[in-house]
Structure 1
């Protein structure tokens, strides 16, 4: 497995290195083919590394040699001028070369259209490659016979745009395949005319290889710019729950004026918590006990004030008069379940006993956590004694994308990985198939993989879904529709189970993946949290509590 892992960067490196020889081949092809014979080479260059090599070598034309001639006539360019020999070339001068790199789009529409088309062609590499490889040779032959260029550009643009539009509207896999095929046809038509369109009306007829420099930049720049721009664009285009209201930019770090760090709640080094108090702290304060995530095997209480979008959450709670205690617990590398759960419960016991000394209100304590911390927060909040009564005096519990059923979550994740390996034809010894059998965070937590028969009882005791009951406190569950780690089905199933027991609960599905800052910065999601805290842990609810 280690060998396969080390080979991956090499494979990626070889793929990323292809644009370098591709740029050189694109420039050379213009010198190797006559302008009226560049359609087929254009298709070969666009098809990939192998066909590009064939594009460098022109197909010989077998014409009868005139009688009495012992050697072929020296080649001439289309205008009839004698080609410039090597010893006749003038000395290299950078200034005239630099001045010819600009070609006005009005005076030279061909290169301008092709240059812009290469920017639009970049996303097409993700779709329809098979169809384009079939279409390109056919279209290139038609182009060379007709000598027409602009009709190919128009047809390629319309067909490709129709294909991409169909991709966005596809609701079934079969419809998606058809849409990709249509886009591939448009791409194939474009490949047939792209290089010929660029090289025929080059600004400088005596130096086509040099003039193709800007064209090569147009083909390479998207590969460098899009990875940097795409995440921001995807985040901006994600449907926001709050309409037109902009997202908050999460603070990189948050500090409270009254912060105490590394306070002990037990004898072990991991038994520590940080206490954050709001700046205008007065009187007994409601308390949120926050449990950090990290797959039960990494993470720290400091993440609340400096990791990802969590500082935005801390800022929200402190700004609304809540004290926040961020607790550590033993990770799976130190101890297995139920040690982490015991630690969270012990921290709650310590905070409840010391609440008057710390200026906290023991009747308004809320458990909260993200990912693995959300899982532990749910378990601790649902814990009961032998009589079925709540073990901890918590008013409510909030989980951000936490696992609710260890067995179900692991089975779903492994099935996704196995299906991906099967569909993509990965061999049995591939790294993707190794992930199916690799130790999982759940397995490290329990000390045994939860989908094994002998771990059934242990996995059930570590699943909030199995622990939920009539005595469970009000629960708010945040889950991501695109969460490939914890999924969203588990949160929805837990919410339904709580409803069956008449426990107030709410499951909020966000347009986000696992661990995204969106959960803590979106105004609507922030308001969901504050409303829930006000209803189930506000002063009125505390006064009405038995």
Structure 2
């Protein structure tokens, strides 16, 4: 009914050593603001891997534009780009805007948009990683474990390409919402608490899941470390590579520790795994 498509490709901007596309329209949603993403692509002779960044904020607040935690998202972006990987910072609807599974549909639509525009962006659709913290880590783990679940795709924006990703970094993300029956998790599920199992990556792991790096504070009282421990164990049971790093004494969002070493470790993991590529985007 509209004289314009449901998604748009923005004009490029030049920045030192990279090309930047800001406020790309991933999907227009009736009654909601459009979903946007920003992407920085390093200068390279051929297509580069791309990393999807998902912010935290208890599914209640946060934005792809500003730091949502006690560390700089810009620092993560710059180190990712310096390592030769594109960095796409993605929006998703918050729990006050829409209930589950809208958030997963939103981030899947961003992955499809990136693959659809891969040639124009200079990224490789067969080498897509995801990295998220807290609520964003929850969604990152789900992207890594539900790439072949058609019933969880959603229909907004670009359709056609698979939303499957090929590597994931999850910082202190919930993996089993059946253990989180109140607070932000209850707000996310809204009037569908029966979907708690569907909303946890722990219950989707299979042999097709993407390799994961899970980093979690041992003293996290917001999202207990058992979420990452159980997810790592499930991956191991299905033969999926998963590295678990438990940070002694660290609280949620690495409180009480320096997060920079974990930034470097995340970049190194994604660079190593995505270097291999994937035949089917």
Give how far 1:255 is off: 9.2
Are 1:406 and 2:177 an aligned pair?
Answer: yes
Contact 1:510 1:519 in 2 (8 A): no
Aligned in 2, Cα 1:363/1:378: closer, same or farther, shift over 3 Å? Answer: same
2:95 maps to which of 327, 332, 337: 332
Q: Which protein is richer in helix relative to its size?
A: 1
Conserved 8 A contact 2:56-2:133: yes
Which of 8, 15, 20 is matched with 1:259 structurally? 20
In structure 2, the gaps of 5 or more residues are 1-14, 152-160
Q: Is the 8 A contact 2:126 2:279 kept in 1?
A: no
User: Is 1:374 matched with 2:111?
Assistant: no
Structure 1 counterpart SS, 2:27: coil
* 1:495 and 2:256 aligned: no
Over the aligned positions, Cα root-mean-square deviation in angstroms equals 2.7
Aligned partner of 1:360 in structure 2 is 123
Alignment of 1:140-219 (within 5 A): none
| Matched pairs, number | 252
The verdict on how the C-alpha distance between 1:494 and 1:305 changes in structure 2, with shifts beyond 3 A counting, is: closer
Which of 163, 185, 190 pairs up with 1:447? 190
Match of 1:474 in 2: 211
Preserved CA contact (<8 Å) 1:382 1:473? yes
Contact 1:310 1:520 in 2 (8 A): no
- Name the one with the larger strand percent: 2
The answer to whether the 8 Å contact 1:309/1:520 transfers is: no
Question: CA offsets, 1:388-445, max 9 Å, x none?
Answer: xx9523111111111111122x26xxxxxxxxxxxxxxxxxxxxxxxxxxx6100110
Whole-Å Cα distance in 2 between the matches of residues 465 and 332 of structure 1?
A: 21
- Are the aligned partners of 2:168 and 2:270 in contact in 1 as well (CA < 8 Å)? no
| Runs of 4+ off more than 6 Å | 543-546
Larger relative contact order, structure 1 or 2 (CA cutoff 8 Å, min sep 6): 2
Partner SS state of residue 484, structure 1: coil
Partner of 1:56: none
- What residue ranges of structure 1 are gaps of 5+ in the alignment? 1-253, 412-438, 449-453
The answer on whether the counterparts of 1:404 and 1:464 sit within 8 Å (CA) in structure 2 is: yes
Give the structure with higher Rg (CA). Answer: 1
Partner of 1:385: 149
- TM-score, normalised to structure 2's length? 0.81
- The alignment partner of 2:37 has SS state of strand
CA distance in 2, matches of 1:367, 1:309: 17
Q: How far is 1:519 from its partner? A: 6.2
CA distance in 2, matches of 1:358, 1:376: 24
C-alpha distance in 2 between matches for 1:505 and 1:490: 13
Change over 3 Å in CA distance of 1:406–1:385 after alignment to 2:
closer
Deviations along 1:450-474, one digit per CA (max 9) or x if unpaired, are: xxxx83x410000111111121111
Summarize the alignment of residues 243-322 of structure 1 with structure 2, pairs less than 5 Å apart: 258-268=19-29, 269-278=33-42, 280-303=43-66, 308-322=71-85
User: Is the Cα–Cα contact under 8 Å of residues 112 and 162 in structure 2 kept in the other structure?
Assistant: no
Superposed displacement of residue 510, structure 1: 1.6
Q: Distance in 1 between matches of 2:70 and 2:21?
A: 18
TM-score (norm 1): 0.43
> Deviation of residue 309 (structure 1)?
3.3
Report how far residue 504 of structure 1 moved.
0.7
